[in-house]
Amino acid sequence: MPFAPLKNDTFLRACLRQATDHTPVWLMRQAGRYLPEYRATRAKAGSFMGLATNVDYATEVTLQPLERYPLDAAILFSDILTVPDAMGLGLSFALGEGPKFEKTVRTEADVAALAAPDLARLRYVFDAVTSIRKALDGRVPLIGFSGSPWTLACYMVEGGGSDDYRHVKALMYARPDLMHRILAINADAVAAYLNAQIEAGAQAVMVFDSWGGVLADGNFQAFSLAYTHRVLSQLKREHEGARIPRIVFTKGGGLWLDDMKPLDCDVLGLDWTVSLARARAAVGDGPNAKALQGNIDPNVLFAPPAAIEAEVVKVLDSFGRPHSGAGTGPTHIFNLGHGISQHTPPEHVTALVNAVHSHSRRLRQAA
């Protein structure tokens, strides 16, 4: 049963470096705690995993930000840690705290026991993708996603968040063989997981390498980037005749743009430390060119609307005038450089989204 045809393909066109009449915008974690309607649904669901594993709730919260703001894409409501949860590590979220795993992966025996999960255990995710695609009814495209192999490994070894990555790095430095084994398993699992999301209806996929930026130069290439390559090499390029764009976002990865250029992906996500002008010069055009996604500091949203608009203009101007006309060329997808804060005033997001649309149209009209 086919889904409804797409009414707004701006995001997908920009991913593929094709001209658009405005710069598309979506926000990492756009369905989230800053929205009162999200908090109401979460209260009904009882827990974060109760929300994420219930198809109706996941569909409901995915669409909530689209009711408020003219965003150009939706992103599946889920968590980056569903894959290690399905490996049997036991994911939970205490209220107001980060993710926790019941089991950690630290010893040779732990690693030997690790295997890619049965995708049937992730059925709730694929069902949510299909349900959301139906509910979207072609309004905007739906993005699927996963954590990167390295980022998943950080949580699997640490057992949760960390401010020093002591355990995962100790394992990496002391037993690189074990770390490579974990990463290989993760990469194959992530690829299968993303392919199943594509088959269920995801129209683009994003790999969140949220912790790639904590690695030393040299180790980023060997322990994060190499396994992102391994994921991408196994991904479906098309589904039912439509090209499926791939986005890779390494938080704190601005130093390694040249290393990322050979990635077989369409878009690179950037955080606010990176100059969009420099990134465009480095990877925005020529062989292996990428579209760029990002990169305003989410804390801008705590300033008054006039200041938000001024910062949006700075970011758009920093990228400069995007490609226009036929063929392909440098394009920009506006986003935050990190997930939106739960403390964000919802009405400030309106100012941001409207400023992106209006200024990016002006930018295209400028001589």
Q: List active site positions.
A: 29, 33, 42, 79, 155
Alpha carbons 134 and 138: distance in angstroms, whole number: 8
Site for a copy of itself contains 216 (CB under 8 A): yes
Distances (CA, A) of 287 to 231, 291, 328: 21, 12, 12
- Give the shortest CB-166-to-a copy of itself separation in angstroms: 6
Q: Which residues contact 74 (CB under 8 A, 6 or more apart)?
A: 26, 62, 63, 65, 66, 132, 136, 139, 140, 141, 142, 143
Site for a copy of itself contains 192 (CB under 8 A): no
SS3 content of the chain, % helix, strand, coil (to 5): 50, 15, 40
Q: Give yes or no for a cis peptide into 8 (omega within 30° of 0).
A: no
- Per-residue x/- track, 295-334, a copy of itself (CB under 8 A): -xx-xx-xxx--x---x--x---x----------------
Radius of gyration for the chain, computed over Cα atoms and rounded to the nearest angstrom = 20
Report yes or no: 246 and 235 within 8 Å, Cβ to Cβ: yes
Among 92, 104, 275, 358, interactor with a copy of itself by CB under 8 A: 275
Among 8, 273, 328, 358, interactor with a copy of itself by CB under 8 A: 273
Site for a copy of itself contains 281 (CB under 8 A): no
- Give the shortest CB-363-to-a copy of itself separation in angstroms: 18
Report yes or no: 343 and 333 within 8 Å, Cβ to Cβ: no
* Terminal C-alpha separation, the chain: 46
- Give the shortest CB-216-to-a copy of itself separation in angstroms: 4
Site for a copy of itself contains 343 (CB under 8 A): yes
Site for a copy of itself contains 272 (CB under 8 A): yes
Q: Which element (helix H / strand E) includes 281? A: helix 276-283
Instruction: Name residues contacting a copy of itself, limited to 158-187 (CB under 8 A).
Output: 163-166, 169-170, 173-174
Site for a copy of itself contains 94 (CB under 8 A): no
Provide the sign of the torsion angle of the four alpha carbons 258, 263, 267, 273, taken in this order. Answer: negative
Among 213, 320, 329, 346, interactor with a copy of itself by CB under 8 A: 213
Site for a copy of itself contains 135 (CB under 8 A): no
Q: Which is nearer to a copy of itself, 199 or 259 (CB)?
A: 259
Q: What is the DSSP letter of 225?
A: I
Site for a copy of itself contains 345 (CB under 8 A): no
Ranges of beta strands (E only) in 94-165 are 99-101, 142-147
Alpha carbons 267 and 16: distance in angstroms, whole number: 8
Q: Which is nearer to a copy of itself, 74 or 316 (CB)?
A: 316
Q: Which is nearer to a copy of itself, 81 or 282 (CB)?
A: 282
Q: Which stretch binds a copy of itself (CB under 8 A): 25-33, 114-122, 194-202, 270-278?
A: 270-278
Q: Tell me the three state secondary structure of residue 335.
A: strand
- Give the shortest CB-108-to-a copy of itself separation in angstroms: 15
What is the contact surface with a copy of itself in residues (CB under 8 A)? 163-166, 169-170, 173-174, 213, 215-220, 252, 254-255, 272-275, 296-297, 299-300, 302-304, 307, 311, 314, 318, 337, 341, 343
